[in-house]
Amino acid sequence: MPRTQPNRVTLTIDGREIEADEGTMLVDAAREGDVEIPVFCYEPKLGEPVGACRMCLVEIEGIPKLQTSCSTPVRDGMVVHTRTDQVKEAQESVVEFLLVNHPLDCPVCDKGGECPLQDISMGWGPDRNRMVDQKRHFEKPVPLSPLVAIDRERCILCYRCVRFSQEVSEDEQLQLLERGDATFVGTFDDRPYIAPFQGNITELCPVGALTSYTYRFRARPWDIEQGGSVCTLCPSQCNVSFTVRDEEVARVLARDNPEVDDGWLCDKGRYAFQAMYADDRVLGPEVTSDGHSTPASWQEAEETAAEGLASAGSRTAILVGDASNEEGYLLQRILRQALGSGDIDSRRGPGVDGDAALKLADPAITAQTSDIDTADLVIVVGTDPIQSAPSFDLRVRKAVRRNGTALAVATDRPGALEGGATEVDRFHPGGAAAFLEELAGKVKRGRAKTGLAGLIADSEQTVIVWGERIVQGAGGRAAVEALVDLSEAAGLADQEGSGLIGIPETANGRGLREVGCLPDAGPGLSPTGPGRDAGAIREGLESGELEAVVLFGVDPIRDLPDPEGWRRALEAAGHVVAFSLARNESTEFADVLLPLESHAEKDGTVTHPDGRIQRVRPSARRPGEVRPVWQVLTELAAMLGSSTGITSTPEALEAVASAVPFYAGLTDSEIGGRGVRWQERPAASDLGSPSPDLTLYATAPGPFSPLGSGAAGSEADDLPGSFEGGGSGVDDAGVVPPEESTSSPPTPTNGQLLLGTYPNLWADQVVESSPALRFLVPAQRLEVSGPDATRLGLSTGDEVSVRSGEESVNARVAVRAAMPEGACFLIEGTPADNGNRVAGEDGGPTLVEIGPPEVRLELVTAGGGPEGDEAA
């Protein structure tokens, strides 16, 4: 379904000649022509109009009865009247009718002042209510869920919330119960409404019937200001608008951007703002001396940090987690230019490296998020969007429900999208490479009629949404190759609107690697001398080869594989500089602790998984001593002897834009409020040309070589040429497959299971620090298949221990259908019993033994040290 250009038609509304696309609803056409027609139930985001409230009645010449303009498409030559006596009477009656049962408690109602019902009553309603009887009464306010309160007296039964639950998030929990004037919105059996997108209904409700507990009575519309920004809590990077009262964020609203989020937010983005004001937030710099961490001045803290880094010199490494493009750029510049080291990583495991990233960045094989809407086929590979980038989940559901897009899901762990999928394929943890290789082969041979390969052959526009974790572990490199092969075989490059969208592990994963936070690639993905990746940094610190480490927005003891190894590594490190939003286990080891800004305070840019560069803009006050981080980094750079010359945020962006060839010339005003995809800018043709920054790093004091050495060097020389002219021809001839190109994961033997880990949306420190969301923090659970459960004598709810080598964690068993046999899954980054402890060291799959419950009890009592701590 390629996008088609609709015909234009001309119609007359209230005597004005208006031009509109064929098929638009009358009410939208009218708005374009500056005629306002009041609506309640119409909300295009919810899909087809339902015509439930009758507020939008208009007179159309030639049709005797009034028509609902929200569900009447425009036709050429239509003559419409919105202000005749007949229409006026209808509007007044509808408003009066709605107000029959609506309590007029506007002064205590949170919606007061921003309420469509108030506005429409003022604008189109009668000025008197003839109702003298009792209004209907309900118990109020009652919790609909732990996050949302419902006041059923105020509800006008537009059923927007019900439609959202049924047709957008498809959790199907909200219902209209009872009939007639006793109708109310509720859930089956009054169970709490638990779903990851429920906060959206508070924004949809046109009256004050649905309110968030976090914002109830916090402010009125005239007490607040709105500040637009981007949510950087996950890679979806939804556009948000912060409601700020007294310079603090009080609420988060969606800021519709059809190219990014379609106007929806997940509950993490909406409610985790509370973490900004939690007790664990780092509010000022701290310096540790004699084992005691004490608050310090910025000057002192920066000097201590710089001293430590300078003395470690090229034996310094940097780990980046959540950072803006500017911060990431400055960090790698400090490391490469001032310290002469190349040991920087922003990934969880050895995932997409510089070379692979360059191939995958090819604009011809990259899809844009809104391409999902129009695609014939969407393939979701190795990711469960609801856990790692929730707004993609809604996007895919929308395509399937409204546009009849075929959906294929190929994952190791059964995910949320499978219900609507045409085709579900399952591979073992770590088996993505083999699966993709086979698929690419089938597609290439072109004989397949059935299965996924058949679907690919049948569809023109194909979008592949893939999770970057499939490239972790031993078969990682092969998976990237297979993916590029597949996109070539499926002809994604030649088809408009087809392509890949990779969901990175961290919110700005794509931006960070494009600005140079990879061990083997500098800004603009220019190959540099190979540095250590995250795992090697851990080993280097532990063995003493590395002296100092900078942790930037990352808690390796929680977020990365092998937390115990990281604990040892940080203990062994001579100098740890931690930039962190909040206190965590890793910051305990910090010699210098520096605060980070939250996404409501930061000024910078981030890059969306589809290459859209967006602006994060400050709207709230930085609490405590928190300072702009780019400033701190430029000062650190200057102290380390490499002045950056950056004195403002626009200059920081300018530095990034001139270092990354395909971002060249980017400015704040070009990015604007909607962002801009770099693939659509002329500079995109510079993808693959070396960054001018490399000359800066050439003078670095340490052993780090900007142009790499050996194979990497020769590849670097080839690169500019091979990507010339827009880079449509991906050339993989020169790629040397890594040693373990065979991607078969270890085979489980008697009693063992192959463990895969997955990120859980709620297993995150910001969730724990947000009181409203705390009820969602997951306890560790072990997902196993039915046959395995029978074989091992497990049933749902059993407590077991999962052991891999020295490490073990406790979990409750959840037997799931559709699980691949022989595999099991744990959650990464849970507050207790972190799945990362037993995960493979490189983030890939590993073999585990499931201990029977009695063994577990013994373990809890006998297993001292960290095990005991966490169990307590």
Q: Please give the residue ranges that form the binding site for ligand SF4 (CB under 6 A).
A: 107, 155-161, 185, 204-207, 209-210
Q: How far is the CB of 496 from ligand FES (least distance, A)?
A: 35
Pick 68 or 82: Cβ nearer ligand FES: 68
Phi, psi for 369 (deg, rounded to 5): -55, -40
Residue 819 interacting partner from another protein, ligand FES, ligand SF4, none (CB closer than 5 to 8 Å by kind)? none
Nearer residue to ligand SF4 within complex by CB, 138 or 298: 138
Q: Which does 155 bind (CB under 5 to 8 A by kind): ligand SF4, another protein, ligand FES, none?
A: ligand SF4
Tokens of 358: 């360059």
Q: Are 143 and 198 in contact (CB under 8 A)?
A: no
Residue 676, phi then psi, degrees to nearest 5: -140, 135
Strand order in the sheet with 210-212: 142-143, 148-150, 210-212
Strands (E), 51-145: 57-60, 67-68, 79-81, 142-143
Rounded distance, CA 209 to CA 159, Å? Answer: 11
Give CA–CA dist 650/667, Å, rounded: 7
For another protein, give the closer residue by CB, 107 or 645: 107
Give the one entry of ligand FES, ligand SF4, another protein, none that residue 417 binds, where binding means its C-beta sits below a cut-off of 5 to 8 angstroms depending on kind. Answer: none
Question: Using CB under 8 A, which of 47, 73, 113, 454 touches another protein?
Answer: 113
If one asks whether residue 205 binds ligand FES (CB under 6 A), the answer comes out as no
Binding partner selected for residue 54 from ligand SF4, ligand FES, another protein, none, CB under the kind-specific 5 to 8 Å limit? ligand FES
Q: How far is the CB of 39 from ligand FES (least distance, A)?
A: 4
CA distance 20 to 75: 9
329 burial level (CB within 10 Å; 0-12, 13-18, 19+): buried
Nearest of 53, 44, 55 to residue 168 by alpha carbon: 44
In the complex, what is the shortest distance from the CB of residue 777 to another protein, in angstroms, rounded to a whole number?
Answer: 24
By CB under 6 A, tell whether 41 contacts ligand FES.
yes
Q: Could you identify the residue written with the tokens 């590849």? A: 715
CB 393 to ligand SF4: min, Å = 22
Kind of pairing, strands 377-381 and 225-230? unpaired
Per CB under 6 A, the segment of 39-47, 242-250, 574-582, 609-617 that binds ligand FES is: 39-47
Amino acid at the residue 12: T
Pairing of the two strands 752-759 and 823-828: parallel
Residues 259/263/269/270 CA torsion (nearest 10 deg)? 170
As a residue count, the chain comes to: 872
Is there binding between residue 760 and ligand FES (CB under 6 A)? no
Q: With contacts defined by CB under 6 A, how many residues of the chain interact with ligand FES?
A: 12
- Nearer to ligand SF4 among residue 218 and residue 627 (C-beta): 218
Q: Smallest distance, Å, CB 181 to ligand SF4?
A: 13
The string of DSSP codes covering 447-489 is ---SHHHHHHHH-SSEEEEEEGGGG-STTHHHHHHHHHHHHHH
Give the Cα separation of 509 and 183 in Å (integer): 47
Residue pair 207/111 in contact by the 8 Å Cβ criterion:
yes
Name the binder of 108 from ligand SF4, another protein, ligand FES, none, CB < 5-8 A by kind. Answer: another protein
Burial code of 372-387, b = ≥16 C-beta within 10 A, e = fewer? bbbbbbbbbbbbbbbb
Q: Which is nearer to ligand FES, 69 or 757 (CB)?
A: 69
164 forms part of the interface with ligand FES (CB under 6 A): no
Element (H, E) at 85: helix 85-101
Q: List strands edge to edge, sheet with 462-467.
A: 423-426, 406-411, 377-381, 462-467, 499-503
Using only C-alpha atoms, the chain has a radius of gyration, in whole angstroms, of: 28
According to the binding rule CB under 8 A, does residue 718 interact with another protein? Answer: no
Q: Which two tokens stand for residue 266?
A: 């997940």
| Contacts with ligand FES, 63-102, as mask; x by CB under 6 A | -----x-x--------------------------------
- Least Cβ distance, residue 177 to ligand SF4 (angstroms): 12
**Contact region for another protein (CB under 8 A) — 213-221, 605-613, 807-815, 843-851?**
213-221
Near another protein in 122-151, by CB under 8 A: 141
Picked from ligand FES, another protein, ligand SF4, none, the partner binding residue 318 (CB below 5 to 8 A depending on kind) is none
- Nearest residue relative to ligand FES (C-beta): 70
Q: Please choose which of another protein, ligand FES, ligand SF4, none residue 572 contacts, taking the beta carbon within 5 to 8 angstroms, the exact cut-off set by kind.
A: none
* Partner from another protein, ligand SF4, ligand FES, none binding residue 331, C-beta < 5-8 Å depending on class: none
Structure tokens at 380: 């979701």
Query: Helices 629-639 and 298-312 sit at what angle, rounded to 10 degrees?
Result: 50
Segment contacting another protein (CB under 8 A): 58-66, 105-113, 118-126, 311-319?
105-113
Kindly tell me which of 37 and 594 has the beta carbon lying closer to ligand FES: 37
- Rounded Cα distance, 496 and 463, in Å: 11
Residues 217-256 that bind another protein (CB under 8 A): 217-220, 222-223
Closest to another protein by CB, 97 or 277: 277
Convert residues 42-61 into a mask of x (bound to ligand FES by CB under 6 A) and - (unbound). Answer: x--------xxxxxx-----
- Helical ranges in 780-852 per DSSP H: 786-792
**Residues at the interface with ligand FES (CB under 6 A):** 39-42, 51-56, 68, 70
**Residues at the interface with another protein (CB under 8 A):** 105, 107-108, 112-113, 141, 216-220, 222-223
